[in-house]
Amino acid sequence: MNFKKYLENKKNIIDKALDEYLPPEENSPSIIHKAIRYSVFGGGKRIRPILTLATAELFGKDTESVIKTACGIELIHTFSLIHDDLPSIDNDDFRRGKPSNHKVFGEAIAILAGDALLVSGFDLITKNMEVKEIKKQSILKVIKETSFYIGTENMLGGQVEDITLNDKDITKADLINLYMKKTAALICLSIRVGAILSGAKQRQLKALTKYGKNIGLAFQIIDDMLDVMQDQRDAGKLNYANKFGMKESKNESERLINEAKDSLKIFNHKAEILRNIADCLLTRKK
Ligand code: GRG
């Protein structure tokens, strides 16, 4: 199977699983289930759950063994996007070219849809317990990891810095640190959970964490470049490409992707899919 087909296939599996796990729109109270489904099926690329599945495959595990956790991470990601767009945070009227959740359902329902997705994300991670060969201890570790990687020292903290730091005074190191928390943490988590559930050894987990942090950082810098190219910059928003230029952003993202791939050496050819994912981030158009 070629790599493009691989990604399509994984995305379809994830979409189908999410549809099965989420309550149907008609379930009462219908408005919240509509709002949840509006954003979960709003055109996301599913990069985080694909990374979880691909990491499990690296250890010879099948999709079934980690799909609930992979989807749980995607729900948490969707929660973060809905809250990120709120008027009190980034105040974005559009997400993925469509009206953002609060523009369609109102602010109160958007907040609650985000809350519901955060809770459902953890619920799905816990349900990974239903897979017989997965050790209960590793599920507990994944719950602990998730709380840490999305908490105040990581994703949430990065978002706080994003809305409080002053663009004028910020250094490159500050911005990298912020991106590490706001974006790279969740991407890194999606890889770590696949490894933990698959029984990775410490040395392997360390290598995958380095890979995750580097592709996560590159992902945000590339996101900033796409915003500049598509002229979607928000004047008040921190943006690496805007601040340090397109050339420097291109060089830095390429350097990070190379470093990410280097850290996979210990897995030899088995990590080919993860290397391909890293490469395709550099050429993504959305
Ligand atoms: C964890 C309690 C708690 C709060 C979260 C709102 C918030 C605090 C964090 C937001 C973080 C955020 C939105 C980071 C941006 C990351 C980013 C580049 C998102 C876009 O990811 P894609 O391109 O999205 O993978 P798609 O559309 O493909 O799903």
Q: What is the DSSP string of 115-128?
A: HHHHHHHHHHHHHG
Atom number, ligand 1, closest to the C-alpha of residue 83? 6
Q: Is 69 exposed, middle or buried (0-12, 13-18, 19+ CB in 10 A)?
A: buried
Mutate to test the pocket of ligand 1, among 155, 189, 222 (most ligand atoms within 8 A of CB): 155
How many angstroms separate the CA atoms of 126 and 252, rounded? Answer: 37
In the chain the beta strands, taken as DSSP E runs, fall at 94-95, 98-99
- Identify the pLDDT of residue 168: 83
How many angstroms separate the CA atoms of 272 and 204, rounded? Answer: 15
How many angstroms separate the CA atoms of 96 and 36, rounded? Answer: 15
Ligand 1 centre to CA of 113 (Å) is 15
| Short-list 148, 267, 251, 145, CA closest to 207 | 267
For residue 100, report the phi and psi dihedrals to the nearest 5 degrees. Answer: -70, 165
Tens of pLDDT, residue by residue, the chain (286 residues) = 799 999 999 999 999 999 999 999 999 999 999 999 999 999 999 999 999 999 999 999 999 999 999 999 999 999 999 999 999 999 999 999 999 999 999 999 999 999 999 999 999 999 999 999 999 999 999 999 999 999 999 999 999 999 999 888 899 999 999 999 999 999 999 999 999 999 999 999 999 999 999 999 999 999 999 999 987 667 667 899 999 999 999 999 999 999 999 999 999 999 999 999 999 999 998 8
* 98 ligand 1 Cβ < 6 A: no
* 95 ligand 1 Cβ < 6 A: no
Atom number, ligand 1, closest to the C-alpha of residue 220? 18
Atom 16, ligand 1: which residue's CA is nearest?
183
Mutate to test the pocket of ligand 1, among 80, 119, 222 (most ligand atoms within 8 A of CB): 80
Mutate to test the pocket of ligand 1, among 159, 163, 187 (most ligand atoms within 8 A of CB): 159
* 222 ligand 1 Cβ < 6 A: no
Task: Note the maximum CA span of the chain.
Answer: 53
* 128 ligand 1 Cβ < 6 A: no
Atom number, ligand 1, closest to the C-alpha of residue 47? 25
For residue 98, report the phi and psi dihedrals to the nearest 5 degrees. Answer: -120, 160
Q: Is 148 exposed, middle or buried (0-12, 13-18, 19+ CB in 10 A)?
A: middle
Counting every residue written for the chain, the total comes to: 286
How many angstroms separate the CA atoms of 286 and 239, rounded? Answer: 16
Atom number, ligand 1, closest to the C-alpha of residue 45? 28
* 182 ligand 1 Cβ < 6 A: yes
Residue 189 sits at the vertex; the CA angle it makes with 92 and 282, to the nearest 5 degrees, is 65
Record the pTM.
0.97
| Short-list 24, 19, 54, 20, CA closest to 40 | 19
Ligand 1 centre to CA of 81 (Å) is 5
Ligand 1 centre to CA of 57 (Å) is 25
* 80 ligand 1 Cβ < 6 A: yes
* 224 ligand 1 Cβ < 6 A: no
Atom number, ligand 1, closest to the C-alpha of residue 151? 1
Please, which residues bridge with residue 98 across strands?
95
